[in-house]
Amino acid sequence: MVGGGAAVNSGMDFQARVGALALVSMLADVVDLGSFGLGGVGEVPREVRFETANAVDDITLELHRGRVMIQAKNSITLSSRVDSEIAKFVRQVVAAHRDYCEGDRYVLAVSPAASTRIRQELKKLCHAYRLIPTGAGANPLTKSERETMDVLRDHVFREYEIAGGVRCDARTLEEILRAVYVETIDVSEEAMGERMALTALSTVTRDDPLPLWHSLVATCLSLSRDRVSIDQSGLTARFDALLTAKSATGAASPILDKAEPLLVLQGGASMGREVVLAEDAEGRVCLAEFRRFDETGARRLHFIDGFVHLAEGVRWRVLRRTATYSGMVRELEDGLSTQISDKAATVFETNLGDLDNTPFAQAHAAAFDTALETAARPMVCLVCGRVISQNRAYSIEVDEANHPYQVGIVHRGCLHPTHRVVGVLGADSFPISTSLIDFDISTWLRQLRAGQAAWSSQHPAGAGAPLRVAWNPANSAPTTGGWAVEYDLADGSTRYVLVRGHVHRGSRQQARQTATQLNKSLQKASAKGDPLVYGLRGYGQRSVVISAEDPNPPEVLTHRAVQVTEATVSAYSVAENYYAPLFYLNDPETGELFTILQMPILLTNPLRFDEMTANWKTAGVGMPASVSATVIATDEQFDLFMTRASTGGAAACVDPVLASDGQLVAGFLVTNLNDLVRA
């Protein structure tokens, strides 16, 4: 009874965590259901329903077009038994199909603990029907896959006839299986799914995202127990105290600078005046306020090439331009005053009254708000073109005589004196790290779920033991072809030879040559008492693959060349990117690459950035106050980075941890394989 209860609790926890991923996509604009494998790219649920009356009843995601009905199974195996878990899932899918609406999808969400016949074979069979209408019949199948197809077909035919009293034909079988998606989601503690959730939540909460994540999981457990649903407004209201305000675009909302009391244009930016700090022809510093528009709506001042042109040919060199006096005071308090401390300043006091409620100012404010809300890339710096993740970055207008009008944000270091500062981004807009000023979190989250296989499959880099990883530039180009190498395992399952997490494809001759070479290696390894096996750490000799978590990985029995299709490649490849995403650091002023021990540094987790840099500082490594972070989104970009690094003779180091004396004690040393061979 204890074991059964633990299994039930494990399943409930997995279901709640899958549901919590859907809630994360509702809260954080940087992710969608496609990011987590629960739907398509760009899709976000309008409502999440738990333990519903629908046939596939664990979780239902109501979309603007269609539904995603999810059965979440932490551990499930293939079985021909009528009372098995897979039979129950098929029963639910068949029942749901009778009420099918366009856009509906049935998702079997499983953890890595589910059997490979579910995670890979069933996934391939269903995916094949979406690629080719005839499905499995048009695809070469292994013996194990044929057995899985037979079991699946028997379950569908039986349940369809029981439900409707008629036999299921081939076309109906195709319709049902085309709508079935098998998704492996590792959402256990510290696994990829949880890391993605925490990174996404860090954009909407002021504090550590872990308590918010735990609260979302607990909420899903409660909603599931009570069989109720939650929508966007209900979710936001429930967690409002923990959330940071965001604009409708998903960008961090700027804190707009306010005009004088009683003169604030409610709900919009101050657009009626110009406040200018400048230097006149004699070098005197002047601070003045001007009306922005004349009686016809034309601009009274002209800003050209760093100068403001006044009446009668007078021009001043602009030091700072703001929308309000309060904004200028903030700039002076933030350090601008140090630039003019040795100069006499003249303040031209004016009392221009309410300028923001004039018709021209109001019209301009409305246009400004519209431009902000409709910006295609609202979090990209107007000057350098890099993503902004810097607290107190500027919200500006580019309003100059020789430049097209623009509205957006810029890094603090990218501000030009003639940019009209309208406000700043709040101090809690980017909780990941105050030091990372341009981290592209949207790209990071899009790439994370199907990436980083190299680092998750390697031995953990413990204290005193940095791991050396060989990077092979010969594997940079993706492989094509209709043949691959398949191998059988002692547990009855079948696998394919992978390179960088992808099924390695080639011609028939190439596949046969590879299979022959691997079978020779198999015989040699067996003769040495260290056979080739496949386990949690992948394919290799038993002494390398064995671990405490996987003490008995099954042996490889034989290799052979086989034909493959896109469905096979999709089902059996373990990652879209083997190395990426990663990010590296450089100086935002000089662009110089940040190194430790003369090695370029790559990092796998932005949420650990402050923890990692604290370790480096303790070891005596100097760190600038702010750094620029460049995301390596794909393996192609990683190859380019490594080509440049290895040309300079330096290995790269991933996630370096230093002892107090500066010695490297943990991390991954990535070195060109050719350099290792020559050594």
pLDDT of residue 57: 64
Cβ–Cβ < 8 Å for 179, 100: yes
Q: What is the mean pLDDT of residues 12-18?
A: 89
pLDDT of residue 436: 73
Within 13 Å of residue 159, how many CA atoms lie on the same side as its CB? 27
* pLDDT (tens digit per residue) in 385-421: 877 766 678 889 999 988 888 898 888 888 999 999 9
Question: What does residue 204 show for φ and ψ, rounded to 5 degrees?
Answer: -125, 0
* pLDDT (tens digit per residue) in 434-459: 677 778 888 888 888 888 888 876 54
pLDDT of residue 462: 47
Give yes or no for residue 290 having a pLDDT over 80.
Answer: yes
pLDDT of residue 139: 65
Cβ–Cβ < 8 Å for 539, 532: yes
Q: What is the mean pLDDT of residues 342-365?
A: 76
CB atoms within 10 A of CB 201: 28
Q: Where are the beta strands (DSSP E) in 633-679?
A: 652-658, 664-672
The pTM of the whole model exceeds 0.85: no
- % of the chain beyond a pLDDT of 90: 31
Give yes or no for residue 343 having a pLDDT over 70.
Answer: no
C-alpha 261, offset from chain centre: 42
The three-state secondary structure class of 573 is coil
* pLDDT (tens digit per residue) in 118-156: 998 899 888 888 887 655 555 678 888 889 999 999 999
pLDDT of residue 262: 28
Cβ–Cβ < 8 Å for 536, 469: no
Give yes or no for residue 259 having a pLDDT over 60.
Answer: no
Q: Which residue has the higher pLDDT, 8 or 100?
A: 100
In DSSP terms, 348 is beta-bridged to 288
Q: How confident is the model at residue 254 (pLDDT cuts 50, 70, 90)?
A: low
Rg (Cα) of the chain, in Å, rounded? 30
Q: Where are the domains of the chain?
A: 2-242, 254-425, 441-454+578-678, 483-564
pLDDT of residue 675: 66
Q: Which residue has the higher pLDDT, 11 or 13?
A: 13
Residue whose C-alpha is closest to residue 538's, from 453, 456, 457: 457
Give yes or no for residue 103 having a pLDDT over 80.
Answer: no
Give yes or no for residue 247 having a pLDDT over 70.
Answer: no
CB-based contacts of 576, cutoff 8 Å, min separation 6:
447, 450, 451, 501
* pLDDT (tens digit per residue) in 193-221: 999 999 888 888 877 889 899 999 999 99
Per the listing, tokens 């490979």 go with 116
Q: How confident is the model at residue 460 (pLDDT cuts 50, 70, 90)?
A: very low
Rounded to whole angstroms, the Cα distance separating 101 from 98 reads 9
Per the listing, tokens 């430790």 go with 596
Q: How confident is the model at residue 427 (pLDDT cuts 50, 70, 90)?
A: very low
Q: At what angle do helices 143-164 and 170-178 cross, to 10 degrees?
A: 110
pLDDT of residue 362: 87
Residue whose C-alpha is closest to residue 597's, from 619, 572, 579: 619
Give the CA dihedral 138, 141, 144, 147, nearest 10 degrees.
Answer: 20
Averaged pLDDT of the chain: 83
pLDDT of residue 253: 56
pLDDT of residue 108: 93
Q: What is the mean pLDDT of residues 183-187?
A: 91
Helix ranges (DSSP H) in 528-600: 542-545, 566-572
